[in-house]
Amino acid sequence: MCGIIGVTTSKRDNVVDVIIEGLRRLEYRGYDSVGIAVVDEQGRIVAKKAAGTIDSFVRKTDLSSIKGRTGIGHTRWATHGPPTDYNAHPHTDCNAKVAVVHNGVIRNFSSLRQLLVARGHRVKSETDTELIAHLLEEKLEESTSGVEALSRALHEIQGTYALGILVAGEPDKIYFARMRSPLIVGIGDGENAIASDIPAIISLTRRVLVLEDGEFGYITPHRVEIYRLTGDGYRRVPQNLVVSRIKTIEWTPEAASKSGYPHFMIKEIFEQPEALYATLSGSVEDPLVREAARIILGAEKVVVVGAGTSYHAGLVLEYFLAKLAGIVSYPLIASEYKVLEEAVGEDTVVVAVSQSGETFDTLEAVRTFKERGASIIGVTNVVGSALSREADLTLYTRAGPEIGVAATKTYLTQVLLLELLAVFAGEMSGRYDSSTTRRYLDVLSKAPITAKDSIEVGDPEARMLARRLVKPSMYIIGRGLGAMLAKEAALKIKEIAYLHAEAYPAGESKHGPIALVEEGFPVFVVATGDSPEVAGNAVEMRARGAWVRVVKPANYELELPSDVEVQATPPVDSHLLEPFSIIPFFQLLAYHTAVSRGYDPDKPRNLAKTVTVE
Ligand code: M6R
C-alpha cells in the first residue's frame, strides 16, 4: 500500500512529468493523497502535496513552479493519520533539508515522536513518516556522509519501510532504504530510478534490481550504491554484485497502460486469453512445476495459503489435488496462519499464492512456517518479489502487469498453473499414467479459448444484467468446485460494485441463510459438473421468491423450472475448464455494475492493490 517513486536524470531538464506519469501507474497502490518533491537548481527542496487523486492534484497544483532533475513522488493509502493535505507525503524536517516518501509502518512511532518533540522538533503531521525526516535531520548534523546518517537513522527505526529521500544541497542524489516493503531500482541510460513496483518506471527502463530487506543506499543519474545494515553499522555491497543482480524484465510499457480501454480492469479481463496462453506455454515444460508436484507428494501435510483472490485460487488447488492425486490439503487464509502454526513442521509443504508476492499477511505466514521447517512453494506473478525470495521453489504465472485493484487475469492464470500442478501430482501419485496426463494437458490448452469465448458471450449479457442488480445484497452459491468459484465471484461483486454478495456452499441454505430470502432477492447459482444437486438448491430459492439465475456451461443439462433464469457460459468437456468458462462472466458483471453506478472499478474505495501492512 502506498506507492513511491524517485527519478534522477541527466538527460531531461525536469523530472516532474516522469514522476507524475509514474505516480499514475502506481495509483493502484493507494489513492488517498499525492505529493512530489524535487531538489531545484539551487539545491533547495521544493514540495507540493494534497489529499485526493492524482488528477485533482495535477488540476489544482501549479506544477510549473517545481523544476529539478531529481525528485520523489508518493501516492498514499493512509495508515497513520487521515488523508489530509498535511498528512500527504513527502514529509520534510524542520528546515526543509530532508524530504521523505515512505511505504510501510513505523512501529516505534509514539516513542520516537515523543523523543523528537522533546528535542525541539516541530512535527507538523500525524504520520509516522515525518518522524523519519526529523530523525535524519539530526543524523545528518552528526555524520560525515548521507550514507552514514541514513544508516544511523535506520538503526533507530523499527517497523516496515520502503523509503525515498531527498537531501537539500544534493541535487543529483536520491537515498533509499528497504525493510519488508517492496522497493526496486531501475537502471536507465543517464537516469536511474527507485519505485515500489515495476509499472511505475517501465517507460524509463526495463532493467531492474530488486532490493532486499536491510539494504539502503543512493542513486545518481549514473550510479547505484547499495549498502547493507549490520548489527550496529553498515557495509557496502560491491559493484560487481550489484551489477550481477540487474535483470531485464519482459513487461512492456503498453502492458502497463490502458491501450484505449476505459479502465485497466476491463483491459485486464480481455487480456485473459493471452495471459493464460503465456502461463501455460511457460509452465508445461518447466521442470520446476513437476519438481513442485514431487515435493507435494513427499510431504505429510500440505497447506495452501493466500489472501483474497489468491486464497480463492488456492481453493482450486485443494479441489484438484484431492480429485486427481488423492491428496488432502488445507487451504488457509494468510492472516489466519496462527491457527495452524503449531501443526506445521518439517513434514509440511506450504504452497503460498500471491500475485504481487508482497502481501504482508502471506509473507508473515510463509516466514513463520519456514522457521518451523516447512518447505515453501511460491506461486507469484512478479519476478524477484519477496515471496520468490522466501520460497524454496517459485512458480510464475505470466499474466503481465495487473494494475486494476481487482485481481482478474492473475486469478485465472493462478488457477491454470495450480491445475497443472495438480495434474502432475496426479500422475506422480500413480493414479494415472503419462497418456492421461497428455489428455489433461490437451484439456488445459483449451483454457485460453474458453476464457475468450466466455468474455465475448458474457460481456453484453453482464452489461444488461448489471442494470437489474438493484437490491443491496445477493447470494452466490454452488457446490464442490462451484462453491469455490462462487467465493471469487462474490469478492469481485463486493469490492468493485459495492454490493453485498455472500458465497456459501449451496447445501448450507437450509441451515440458515435461506431465512433472508424474500421476493426478488438475487441468487446466482454456480453449477459445475460435479454437482447436479444445485438444481434443487436453485428451485428451493425460487420457491421462496428469489430471483434465481443459474450460471453454467451451456452443455451441462440441469432440470430447471422455466422461472429460473440460465446464464449459459461456453461449453466445456472437463471440470478443469469450468473456472475459465464461468469466472469471466462474474468479473464482467462486477465491472459493468460498477460503471453503471458511476464507480471507478480501477480504484475501489478503501482498497489498495497490494496490501503490505498487517
Ligand atoms: O498480491 P496478492 O495476490 O497476494 O493479493 C491478495 C489480495 O490482496 C488480492 O487478491 C485482493 O483480494 C484483490 N483485490 C482481489 O481482487
Same-domain check for residues 222 and 327:
no
* Whether the predicted pLDDT of 78 surpasses 80: no
> Tell me: the pLDDT tens digits for 504-551?
999 999 999 999 999 999 999 999 999 999 999 999 999 999 999 999
- 343 Cα–ligand 1 center, Å: 26
Q: How far apart are CA 5 and CA 11, in angstroms?
A: 18
The CATH number of residue 574's host domain is 3.40.50.10490
Same-domain check for residues 560 and 517:
yes
Judge if the beta carbon of residue 309 lies within 6 A of ligand 1. Answer: yes
> Tell me: the pLDDT tens digits for 491-510?
999 999 999 999 999 999 99
- 408 Cα–ligand 1 center, Å: 10
Q: Which domain holds residue 605?
A: 454-614
- 458 Cα–ligand 1 center, Å: 23
48 counts as catalytic: no
What are the strands, taking DSSP E only, across 355-472? 375-380, 393-396
Judge if the beta carbon of residue 305 lies within 6 A of ligand 1. Answer: no
Mean pLDDT over all residues of the chain?
95
2 counts as catalytic: yes
Q: How far apart are CA 269 and CA 157, in angstroms?
A: 41
Preceding peptide of 253 cis, ω within 30°? no
Cell triple for 103: 511505504
- 304 Cα–ligand 1 center, Å: 15
The CATH number of residue 172's host domain is 3.60.20.10
Cell triple for 83: 488523508
Judge if the beta carbon of residue 612 lies within 6 A of ligand 1. Answer: no
The rounded radius of gyration (Å) of the Cα atoms in the chain is 25
Nearest partner of 563 among 579, 547, 540, judged by Cα: 547
| Nearest atom in ligand 1 to 410's CA | 3
Q: How far apart are CA 546 and CA 474, in angstroms?
A: 10
| Nearest atom in ligand 1 to 407's CA | 16
Same-domain check for residues 563 and 587:
yes
* Whether the predicted pLDDT of 1 surpasses 70: no
Q: Give the DSSP letter of residue 90.
A: P
Nearest protein CA to atom 11 of ligand 1, as residue: 308
- 335 Cα–ligand 1 center, Å: 12
Same-domain check for residues 393 and 429:
yes
* Burial of 580: CB neighbours in 10 Å, binned 0-12, 13-18, 19+: buried
DSSP string, 218-287: EEETTEEEEEEE-SSSEEEPPHHHHHHT-EE----TGGGS-TT-S-HHHHHHHTHHHHHHHHHHHHTT-H
Query: One of 2, 139, 446, 492 is an active-site residue; which one?
Result: 2
Same-domain check for residues 515 and 392:
no
Nearest partner of 293 among 168, 204, 418, 175, judged by Cα: 418
> Tell me: the pLDDT tens digits for 133-184?
999 999 999 999 999 999 999 999 999 999 999 999 999 999 999 998 999 9
> Tell me: the pLDDT tens digits for 21-76?
999 888 777 778 999 999 998 999 999 999 988 888 999 888 888 999 999 999 98
Overall domain count for the chain: 3
User: Final residue of a domain: which of 391, 418, 445?
Assistant: 445
Same-domain check for residues 287 and 435:
yes
User: Final residue of a domain: which of 393, 420, 445?
Assistant: 445
Judge if the beta carbon of residue 610 lies within 6 A of ligand 1. Answer: yes
Same-domain check for residues 464 and 437:
no
Same-domain check for residues 267 and 237:
no
* Whether the predicted pLDDT of 609 surpasses 70: yes
Same-domain check for residues 272 and 383:
yes
| Nearest atom in ligand 1 to 611's CA | 8
* Burial of 259: CB neighbours in 10 Å, binned 0-12, 13-18, 19+: exposed
* Residue 107 CB contacts under 8 Å (≥ 6 apart), including other chains: 158, 159
Q: How far apart are CA 573 and CA 321, in angstroms?
A: 19
| Nearest atom in ligand 1 to 405's CA | 14
Same-domain check for residues 427 and 483:
no
Q: Which amino acid is at 551?
A: V
Q: How far apart are CA 149 and CA 164, in angstroms?
A: 14
Question: Is-contact 307 609, C-beta < 8 A?
Answer: no
Strand order in the sheet with 45-51: 45-51, 33-39, 70-76, 3-9, 191-195, 184-187, 207-210, 247-248
Judge if the beta carbon of residue 359 lies within 6 A of ligand 1. Answer: yes
Same-domain check for residues 344 and 478:
no
What pLDDT shows up at residue 258?
86
Judge if the beta carbon of residue 489 lies within 6 A of ligand 1. Answer: no
- 356 Cα–ligand 1 center, Å: 8
Same-domain check for residues 303 and 323:
yes
Task: Report the predicted TM-score, pTM, of the whole model to 2 decimal places.
Answer: 0.84
Q: What percent of the chain has pLDDT over 70?
A: 100
User: Final residue of a domain: which of 256, 284, 316?
Assistant: 256
